[in-house]
């Protein structure tokens, strides 16, 4: 490959790697917390408040899926609650909705009484580390019909996708740069083989 092309790939590998490093740290640390089911500082004490005189959108109880979620966001705005709606638990006989709402580092549960136009809002701050776990899991494969119902998570979805593609480029360009540098080939082969053996052993342990 021409020296010019090599120089371009080397620079892209360097600067894109630097751009990705904060995102890689978020994903890496959050994996540790997910694996061990423990998040430092996640047991914040909840606070509760009551909101009255909420204007209920017409037909809220009859709406379905994303339309109901969009209408519920208008209700949450009146209650001063913002974030990603996880799901809507509707209790028809009591004309109530229980709505979990999440933001990085904060969990809120809204208990809405449609008949009276009142809501009980319970909020718990979960901290920075839990925020990393939230970003790692979201938007995620669950409740895909309503997932990504806030602008924040829509942007985060694109950023997470871009991170994956750029990591693939960084990996491919790193292998190329290693191949070109003859002095590093022997050490590179040893580390590559060690990685392959570790991965194979892990897969065999999981499958077998």
Mean pLDDT in order along the chain per 10 residues (208 residues): 79 88 86 79 82 94 92 96 94 96 94 96 90 86 83 89 90 84 74 82 73
d(CA 7, CA 89): 56
The pLDDT of residue 95: 95
Q: Determine phi and psi for 44, rounding to 5 degrees.
A: -65, 150
The pLDDT of residue 191: 77
How much is the pTM? Answer: 0.75
Mean pLDDT, the chain, rounded, equals: 87
The pLDDT of residue 79: 95
**CA separation (Å) from 130 to 1, 84, 135, 141?**
46, 15, 9, 19
Which of 81, 35, 70 has the alpha carbon at shortest distance from 145?
70
The pLDDT of residue 206: 64
Give the tens place of pLDDT for each residue, 74-99. 999 999 999 999 999 999 999 999 99
Give the tens place of pLDDT for each residue, 144-158. 788 889 998 899 999
Whether the CB-CB separation of 44 and 124 falls below 8 Å is answered with yes
Residue 11 corresponds to which tokens in the numbers above?
A: 């620079």
The pLDDT of residue 72: 96
């Amino acid at each position: 490959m021409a020296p010019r092309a090599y120089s371009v790939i080397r620079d892209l590998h360097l600067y894109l790697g630097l751009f990705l490093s904060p995102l890689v740290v978020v994903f890496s640390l959050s994996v540790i917390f997910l694996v061990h089911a423990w998040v430092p500082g996640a047991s914040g004490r909840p606070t509760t408040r009551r909101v009255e005189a909420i204007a209920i959108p017409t037909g809220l109880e009859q709406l379905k899926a994303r339309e109901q979620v969009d209408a519920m966001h208008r209700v949450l705005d009146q209650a001063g609650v913002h974030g990603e709606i996880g799901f809507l638990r509707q209790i028809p006989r009591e004309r109530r909705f229980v709505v979990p709402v999440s933001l990085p580092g904060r969990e809120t549960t809204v208990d809405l009484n449609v008949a009276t136009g009142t809501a009980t809002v319970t909020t718990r701050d979960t901290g920075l580390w839990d925020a990393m776990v939230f970003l790692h899991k979201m938007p995620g494969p669950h409740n895909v019909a309503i997932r990504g119902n806030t602008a924040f998570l829509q942007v985060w979805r694109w950023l997470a996708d871009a991170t994956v593609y750029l990591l693939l480029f960084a990996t491919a360009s790193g292998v190329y740069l290693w191949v070109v540098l003859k002095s590093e080939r022997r050490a590179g082969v040893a580390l590559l083989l060690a990685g392959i053996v570790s991965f194979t052993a892990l897969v065999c342990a999981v499958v077998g």
